[in-house]
């Protein structure tokens, strides 16, 4: 069965960077894209971008341009998101999700809570 398992919760100080991983299993990793979606406390879902599991290409939401990096390692079927210059507004649960054609998020990770606090 398809599973996406994310790394553990993180606590970071303002100005630091955080890297979250998403390990996929149960399907051919290179056949799908992995997206990242975040949810601030009590708020809705916010799309952040995607990484192509095959070619490694990326697309980021404009508001994160310049401080976001997504990557993947096909040898271990794992996708990553790194967000830099963290502020308290980045405190959120970060989800990875797989898309299948034509664009629905059919499997989700369990979420990783990132807390930004001094």
What DSSP string runs through 15-37? T--EEEEEEEESS-GGGSEEEEE
- Binder of another protein out of 20, 21, 24, 50 (CB under 8 A): 50
CA atoms within 13 A on the CB side of 89: 5
Tokens of 77: 């079927």
Q: Is 104 an interacting residue with respect to another protein (CB under 8 A)?
A: yes
* Positions 23 through 42 that interact with another protein (CB under 8 A): 35, 37
- Binder of another protein out of 3, 30, 110, 117 (CB under 8 A): 110
Tokens of 93: 């649960």
Q: How far is the CB of 80 from another protein (least distance, A)?
A: 18
Place of tokens 């990326």: 58
Task: Kindly list the residues in this chain that would bind another protein in the complex (CB under 8 A).
Answer: 35, 37, 44-47, 50, 59, 61-62, 95, 97, 102-106, 108-111
């Amino acid at each position: 069965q398809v599973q996406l398992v994310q790394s553990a919760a993180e606590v970071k100080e303002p100005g630091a960077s955080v890297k979250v991983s998403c390990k996929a299993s149960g399907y051919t990793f290179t056949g799908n894209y992995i997206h990242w979606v975040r949810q601030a406390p009590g708020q809705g879902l916010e799309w952040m971008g995607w990484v192509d599991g095959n070619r490694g290409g990326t697309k980021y939401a404009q508001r994160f341009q310049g401080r976001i990096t997504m990557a993947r390692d096909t040898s271990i079927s794992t996708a990553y998101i790194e967000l830099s210059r963290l502020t308290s507004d980045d405190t959120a649960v970060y989800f990875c999700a797989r898309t299948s054609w034509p664009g629905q998020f059919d499997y989700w990770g369990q979420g990783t809570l990132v807390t930004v606090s001094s």
